[in-house]
Amino acid sequence: MKYIIVGAVAGGASTAARLRRLDEHAEILIFEKGEYISYANCGLPYYIGDVIKDRNKLFVQTAAAFNKRFNIDVRVRNEVISINAEEKTISAINLITGAVYSESYDKLVLSPGAEPIRPPLPGINNEGIFTLRNVNDTDYIKSYVNNKTTKKAVVVGAGFIGLEMAENLHHLGIEVSIIEMGNQILAPLDFPIAAMVQQHIRSKGVKMYLNTVVSGFEKTNNGLSVLLNNGNTINADIVILSIGVKPDTKLVMNAGLKIGDAKGIYVNEFLQTSNEDIYAVGDAIEFVNPITNQAMITYLAGPANKQGRICANNIVLGNTHKYNGAINTAIVKVFDMTVGAAGTASKNLHKANIAHVVSTTHSGSHAGYYPDAKQMTIQIAFSPTDGSLLSAQVAGYDGADKRLDILSGVIKSKGTIYDLVEFEHAYAPPYSSAKDPVNMVGFVAENILQKRLSIFYWNEMDKIKEEDLLLDVRTKEEYENGKIQNSINIPVDEIRNRLTEIPKEKNIFIYCEAGLRGYLAQRILKQNGYMNVLNLSGGYRLWKNCINESIN
C-alpha cells in the first residue's frame, strides 16, 4: 500500500506516525510546503516573548528524525498543487528547484490546515505588519522586534493568539494596544466571563478598543499609523494581525471534492471525504457539533491529533472508528489569569434555539485556610429538563485548567449536572476543598432544577420595577463600599429578625457578593411565605465586572 499525506503539522504528522505503527511495510510519503514539520504551533507566541528561549524546543520532530524513526519519506518545501481523484495521483512542485512531478497513491490524506485572514485593507502590506501562523512568521516577527526600536505594538483581533501575542509583547516591555471589532475578547466566551478577563487586561496597562474596526494602515516617519473606523488613529512600531483563520480548501475545491455547509472539507464520521480513497483531518475539515448538531470547524491542535489517529485506524483497519466531533475545549493564559471554555456558549445555544439555564458560581482554588487560595469563576449552561451539561467556562488562577478539563469530560461524555454533584475528586488542602468548585457548580445547578433556587442575571435589572424590592444581603460595610442603585441593605444574618421590613406582596430580587448568601436569604424568605424571590446569579462581583465593561 502507498499512502500520501498532504500537510505535516498536527493532523498530518499524527496520521503518518500512526499509519507506520499499524503498517510497517507500507510506502508513506508526506508533502509539506513549509520548511518544518510537527512543530509546536501553540508555543510560537511564547518564543517571541522570550518565555521559551530555545527555538529548537518548538520542534517536536525534524524531517530527518521523522524519516529515521518512522521510515517515512518526508518532503518539505514540496507543495501538492493538484489531485486527480480518478487516476489516484497528485501533482507536486519542488519549491526549491521548481520541478513539477506526480506521485500515485492508494489512499490520500489531506491536512492542509488553515490560513490567516488578511483583508485587503489600504496599507496592509506595509513593513511591520505581520500574521502569526508558522515558524517563518515567528522568525520574521522576532527578528523585527529585536532589530528595530519597538516601543509600541497594536494587536488586531482579541482571540486566543491575539491575547497571547499581546501578553508576550508586553512581557518584552512594549506598550500594547488591542483592537477588536466585537464587543468582547475571546468570541467563544459569554460576555460575563470575558468581562472579568478584560478587567484584568486593563489592570496591566494594556489598552483595549472594543467595537472598533481597523480601516487601514499608513506608513509614517516614525513607524505605522493604524486607522480606525471612528476616525481615530493609533501609532505603532509593529502590528500583529490576529483577525482569524479560514480553512485552506483550494486544493480540495480544484479536485472536485465536496465542501460542507461551514465551508470546510466535508468528511463523514470516518473522516472520509466525498471520495472513498481520500481522507481529511485538521483545521480544514468540518464535522457535526455534538451539542448543536450543526456543521462546524475547529482550529485546535488536540482534535487534529486525535483525528489523525482515528483516520489512520480507518485507512488500515477499515472504517470501524467513528469520529464523534469536538466540543471546542480551549484554554489560554492571559497575564496572571487562566480562562477557558468547553461546549457551546450560551449566546450560541440561543442562536441554535437550544433551551438552557445559565448558572455562575465563585469558589476558591483550594481550601481557604491554606495559603494563597485564589478565586475562580465558573459559568455553566445546562438543559432545563434533564440537566445535560452543554457548556462550561472558567476564569481564575490556580486550578482553573483542572476544573475546565473535568467539566469538558462531563460535556463530552454527555453527562449532567448530577454528575458534577457526585464528582469524586482528590482532596487535600493545597489542591481543593472538601466540596470542590466542580461540586459547588453541581449543587447550585441542582437547586435550580429542583426549584429550590430561582435566579436572575446581571443584564436583567430592567425587570425590577419601582414597586419591587432589590435587597442587598451583604454586610453593612460591603454595602457602603459599593452597591446596586435603589437597593436596600439587610444582612443575611439579620433577616429572620427583620422580616417585617420586607413586604410579602412584593417581588424580591436579592443579591450578595458571590451568590451563596443570596441563596441562604432566599431560602429563609421562601420558607416564611414569600413567594416571588429571585437571587442574582454570580452576585454583585459578576454584575460589577459586566457593568464596568459595558461602560468601557
Instruction: For 98-148, write each residue's pLDDT tens digit.
Output: 999 999 999 999 999 999 999 999 999 999 999 998 889 999 999 999 887
Q: Write the CB contacts of 224 (distance below 8 Å, at least 6 apart in sequence).
A: 126, 128, 129, 154, 217, 218, 235, 236, 237, 238, 239
Give the Cα separation of 436 and 428 in Å (integer): 11
Per-residue exposure over 31-59, b if at least 16 CB sit within 10 Å of its own CB, e if not: bbbbebbbbbbbbbbbbbbeebeeeeebb
Per-residue pLDDT, 63: 85
Helices (H), 437-475: 437-449
CA–CA dist 57, 291 (Å, integer): 37
Return d(Cα 536, Cα 514) in angstroms, integer: 9
Three-class secondary structure of residue 3 per DSSP: strand
Backbone angles phi, psi at 124, to 5 degrees: -70, -20
d(CA 471, CA 164) in angstroms, rounded, equals 41
- Picking from 143-147, 170-174, 271-275, 448-452, which range would have the lowest pLDDT averaged per residue? 143-147
Q: Check residue 154 and give its pLDDT.
A: 97
Nearest Cα to Cα of residue 297 among 307, 334, 36: 307
Letter for the amino acid at 387?
A: G
- 43 within 8 A of 58, measured Cβ to Cβ: yes
User: With pLDDT > 70 as the criterion, what percentage of the chain qualifies?
Assistant: 100
Chain CA centroid to CA 114, Å: 16
Helix (H) or strand (E) holding 15: helix 10-22
The confidence score (pLDDT) of residue 266 equals 97
Annotated catalytic, 42? Answer: yes
Of 273, 299, 295, give the one whose Cα is nearest residue 286: 295
pLDDT band at 451 (very low <50, low <70, confident <90, very high): very high
Q: Determine what percent of the chain is predicted with pLDDT higher than 90.
A: 92
Q: How far apart, in whole angstroms, are the C-alpha atoms of residue 433 and residue 266?
A: 46
Residue 82: band (very low, low, confident or very high) from pLDDT cuts 50, 70, 90: very high
What are the cell numbers at 146? 529585536
Contacts for 462-465 with beta carbons within 8 Å, 24 or more apart? 463/509, 464/507, 464/509, 465/507
What is the mean predicted confidence (pLDDT) over 489-499? 97
Q: What is the mean pLDDT of residues 249-266?
A: 96
Helices (H), 374-434: 400-412, 417-421
The SS3 of residue 11 is helix
Interacting residues of 408 by C-beta distance below 8 A, sequence separation 6+: 327, 329, 342, 343, 392
pLDDT for 436: 96
Confidence band, pLDDT 50/70/90 cuts, at residue 392? very high
C-alpha distances in Å from residue 216, one per residue of 158, 176, 225? 18, 18, 9
Per-residue burial over 113-149, b if 16 or more Cβ lie within 10 Å, else e, is: bbbbeeeebebeebebbbbbbbbebbeebbebbeeee
For the chain, first and last CA: distance in Å?
60
pLDDT band at 65 (very low <50, low <70, confident <90, very high): confident
Confirm if 294 and 353 have CB atoms less than 8 A apart: no
Q: How far is CA 259 from CA 114, 249, 264, in A?
A: 14, 8, 6
Question: Residue 51 carries which DSSP code?
Answer: S
Q: Please report the pLDDT score of residue 326 as a whole number.
A: 96
Between CA 363 and CA 188, with CA 366 as vertex, the angle to 5 degrees is 50
Please state the rounded mean pLDDT for residues 340-352: 97
Counting every residue written for the chain, the total comes to: 552
The DSSP 8-state label assigned to residue 376 in this structure reads: E
Which cell numbers in the block locate residue 191?
A: 460576555
Judged against a pLDDT cut of 90, whether residue 41 lies above it is answered with no
DSSP 8-state secondary structure symbol assigned to residue 257:
P
Sheet order of strands, 285-288 included: 265-266, 285-288, 295-296
Does residue 219 carry a pLDDT above 80?
yes
The better pLDDT of the pair 468, 41 is held by: 468
Cβ atoms of residues 239 and 208 within 8 Å: no
Residues 424-437: what's their mean pLDDT?
96
For residue 369, with 0-12 CB atoms within 10 Å meaning exposed, 13-18 middle and 19 or more buried, which class applies?
A: exposed
Confidence of residue 42 (pLDDT cuts 50, 70, 90): confident
- Annotate 171-206 with b (16+ C-beta within 10 A) or e (fewer): beebbbbbbbeeebbbbbbbbbbbbbbbbbbeeeeb
Residue 56, pLDDT > 90, answer no
Q: Which residues make Cβ contacts (< 8 Å) with residue 351, sequence separation at least 6? A: none
Average pLDDT (353-373) is 96
All three cell numbers of 412, joined, read 463530552
Catalytic hit among 42, 311, 512, 546: 42
SS3 443: helix
What is the rounded CA–CA span in Å between residue 218 and residue 233?
Answer: 10
